[in-house]
Amino acid sequence: MLSPGDDSYLDDPGPRDACGVFGVWAPGEEVAKLTYYGLYAIQHRGQESAGIAVSNGERIMVFKDMGLVSQVFDEPTLNSLTGHLAVGHCRYSTTGASTWSNAQPTFRGTPDYGIALAHNGNLTNTDELQEWLSTAEEAPEVPRKYRMDSTSDTALVTALLTVHGANGLREGAMEVLPRLKGAFCLVFNNEETLFAARDPQGIHPLVLGRLENGWVVASETAALDIVGATFIREVEPGELISVDASGLSSVRFAEADPKGCLFEYVYLARPDTVIAGRRVHTARVEIGRTLAMEASVDADLVIPTPESGTPSAIGYAEASGIPFGLGLVKNSYVGRTFIQPSQTIRQLGIRLKLNPIRDVIAGKRLVVVDDSIVRGNTQRALVKMLREAGAAEVHVRIASPPVQWPCFFGIDFATRAELIAPGLSEEEICRSIGADSLAYISLEGLVASVGRPMKKLCRACFDGNYPVPIPADRAVEMGLEGERD
């Protein structure tokens, strides 16, 4: 847990999504390389481990390891993964430890076929599912060698598909999927068929694309663009898709009750991705315009916190009439690293990733647009750095409402006790980070900017209205006991 005065940028990386998933069915294509590039496009969704499972119709080969996609795979490895369909995954852990054994895709075998599975999201009823799995494993028709102990919710789903898929993987999925609660975008396969499924709320995005001789599913449309696939549509909430030699088929395992994650628009998704028919960059520019109308200030220059704050800063500058400028340079190569910085370097904090352009900043009254404040450590260090670079005033504007509640659906927010917003007023947060003024966009303004109805969005991290009931033990674990009805 971070102390309130900790200025270390490395220890306050901001909200992170659980994972990115990718799947392709394309006979005659180098499906492992397509998957590699697809994962590369969604690397921002998970940077701890990466893996690819490929089937040639007779067997499934899985290769996975800790690290970035480019660190895990090389040309010889990809050349060895031959087949007609593949499933890929890049992971950031939210359920299960950050270890090789929890890297994905997971793999299990049945007497008739193998199962490789990749998951984005987080399940909320794992205790119930574990009990169901234990009951099934006691059945004499399930051989001991096909049973497993699960350490992540993904492994748990794979185990359930293993023991309930005696009549085929599609049938097993139709039995298992309705029992899952929470957020899940699943891409999985046996030797012949690629499957994709999305939770009834459609909390995180999952899209379907068409290749000249095949199909692709991915977490974001940007991944389709990278591999040359044409966007067809989103995988519908509560839908199971399958692709094999007979073509594409679809079946519904639950009624749709759309509650798309609002934070995807704020931060998680790439700006070139399209969600629910709207490009994320366009939504973020509109968020900035709304923020300027709600929280104007006299200033000389609008600058973003690169890169997630850039579109909203552009919108803020357009609506306010204040010039837009690049006052901070981002080192794009500071991300996931296995080399721990020395204490001397750590004390530099945010400078490892951002460096001010003094000629742009000196003497200016700045509006600094950022996507969110979680703990406050990043903004505190940023304001200090800008003042040291000669800024006359620093006015912080945030392109999302205060983050008040933890996420149970795959975003790694802190517990409620660690979030800065629940314990402090806006004025107190402003003093804490050392800014001259601070303002957030309203929830109503954010929703209007995104262009989707409030009732079709999950905005739980902002208002505490969870679209799926949260088990009492999870609420206690995240510090919610006694906070809500």
Burial class (CB in 10 A: 0-12, 13-18, 19+), 5: exposed
Residue segments in the chain with a per-residue pLDDT below the cut of 70: 1-18, 93-102, 137-151, 333-349, 413-414, 473-485
Q: Pairing between strand 260-261 and 457-458?
A: parallel
pLDDT score, position 91: 76
- The Cα–Cα gap between 277 and 443 comes to 21
For residue 6, what are its two tokens? 């900790």
For residue 154, what are its two tokens? 């993904």
pLDDT score, position 7: 34
Indicate the Cα dihedral angle 441, 446, 448, 454, nearest 10°: -130
Task: Tell me, yes or no, if 19 is annotated catalytic.
Answer: yes
Domain 271-330+338-477: which topology? Rossmann fold (3.40.50)
- The Cα–Cα gap between 85 and 24 comes to 5
Residue 190, Cβ neighbours under 10 Å: how many?
23
Q: What average pLDDT does the chain have?
A: 88
Q: Pairing between strand 194-198 and 182-189?
A: antiparallel
pLDDT score, position 13: 47
pLDDT score, position 6: 33
Query: Using one digit for the tens of pLDDT, what is the confidence trace for 2-27?
Result: 222 333 333 444 554 468 999 999 99
Peptide bond into 304 cis (omega under 30): no
Q: How far is CA 205 from CA 36, 219, 406, 417, in A?
A: 19, 6, 20, 29
Query: Using one digit for the tens of pLDDT, what is the confidence trace for 50-106?
Result: 999 999 999 999 999 998 999 999 999 999 999 999 999 997 754 444 455 668 999
Show me where the domains of the chain are located. 19-258, 271-330+338-477
CATH architecture of 19-258: 4-Layer Sandwich (3.60)
